[in-house]
Each structure stands twice: as C-alpha cells, then as structure tokens.
Amino acid sequence: MAIESAGLLDDLGYNLLSILQKDARISYAELGRRIGLSPAATAERMRRMEEAGIIRGYRVDIDREALGFQVLAIVRLSCDGPKYRPFLNAVKSMDLIAECHHVAGGDAFILKVVAASVEELERLVEKLLDFGVPTTSVVFSSPVVGPVTDLPARYWISR
C-alpha cells in the first residue's frame, strides 16, 4: 500500500468506498451523513482518495441484455509467442470483447465476451482462431456479481 494512501484506508475510508460501490452518484451531503463526516470533509476525503489512485473513476452500470447483448461468454485463449503481439493489437478493436485479462497458466488470456446471438459469438471465436486455440464457455446465469472493483464482493460485505 502506498504511504500516501495508508491514512485514507481507515474505517471511514472503507465505509466511503463501500457506499460508493453501491451508488457512485450519491451526494457529498448524503455520503457524509452515512459515514459521519461533513459534506466538505467527505469531498476532501474523496479528492485525496482520487489523488492517491484509490478511486480511479466513476462508472455507470449498463444492462447488457437491455442493449441487445443476450449472450455472455468466457473465452480462454492459448496464444503462442509469434501470435502474442498481433493478438494484443487486434483485441483492442474487437467490439464484442468486454474484458481481456492476460493470465498465468495453460491459457494466455481470459476474455469476457458479450454478443447479440450465438452466431455472433461464433464469428468472434472464428476470428480468435487466427491467434491461438479458444475455449468458449457460455454463461447461463451469474449468481454472484460483485461491485465494479478488483476486490471480491465478500471483501466489502465483511468490512
């Protein structure tokens, strides 16, 4: 943990982050009321958390199905040396890829993919064949979906 962020991650800081995870549009006044600070002190704490890189931004949570993306899939991709860099360049322009993670283990990448149909997913998987061997899993449901963060949902609940 960076020295400049150490003092910000006390009980107040964790409570502030937990509340923001649920509602990033909450007012300083309401947020301050919930954590026991004035609106000005809350705004200052948030500003310092932003400067320390703890809060990287504020996002909107969009329902992919409402936008017509009925299919959610996880694709694991093995990718050997000569195809690694070309894949890194190509993946940034592949519209259906919501997330791409470079991982250790048998696969080189794990992709979160959204598509309007199985046929659209199939076309993407065919493109991925140019870079390696894709293994595709279609998501039936998501019983646990955490807040938009790198930490698991149970981390926020337990604080």
Same domain, residue pair 78 and 126: yes
Residue 100 lies in a domain: yes
Q: In this structure, are residues 109 and 79 in contact, taking their beta carbons and an 8 Å threshold?
A: yes
Q: How confident is the model at residue 157 (pLDDT cuts 50, 70, 90)?
A: very low
In the predicted structure, residue 42 carries a pLDDT above the cut 70: yes
Residue 146 lies in a domain: no
Indicate the residue among 32, 60, 88 that finishes a domain. Answer: 60
What is the number of domains present in the chain?
A: 2
Q: In this structure, are residues 16 and 35 in contact, taking their beta carbons and an 8 Å threshold?
A: yes
Q: Are strands 71-78 and 109-115 parallel, antiparallel or unpaired?
A: antiparallel
Same domain, residue pair 85 and 38: no
Same domain, residue pair 53 and 85: no
DSSP symbols for 48-66: HHHHTTS---------TGG
As a whole number, mean pLDDT of residues 67-91 equals 94
Amino acid identity of 77? Answer: L
Q: Model's pTM, two decimal places?
A: 0.74
Same domain, residue pair 48 and 79: no
- Which of 3-7, 45-49, 56-60, 144-148 has the lowest average pLDDT? 3-7
Same domain, residue pair 15 and 46: yes
Residue 149 lies in a domain: no
Indicate the residue among 16, 40, 60 that finishes a domain. Answer: 60
| Model pLDDT, residue 155 | 47
Amino acid identity of 118? Answer: V
Same domain, residue pair 56 and 69: no
Quick one: tokens of 60? 């909107």
As a whole number, mean pLDDT of residues 95-113 equals 93
Same domain, residue pair 72 and 55: no
Q: What is the CATH number of the domain that holds 88?
A: 3.30.70.920
Beta bridge pairs of residue 99: 112
Q: What is the CATH number of the domain that holds 51?
A: 1.10.10.10
Q: How confident is the model at residue 103 (pLDDT cuts 50, 70, 90)?
A: very high
Per the structure, the complete domain to which residue 40 belongs is given by 3-60
The residues, ordered by sequence, that sit 6+ positions from 101 with a Cβ below 8 Å of its Cβ are 109, 110, 111
Q: In this structure, are residues 70 and 117 in contact, taking their beta carbons and an 8 Å threshold?
A: yes
In the predicted structure, residue 154 carries a pLDDT above the cut 50: no
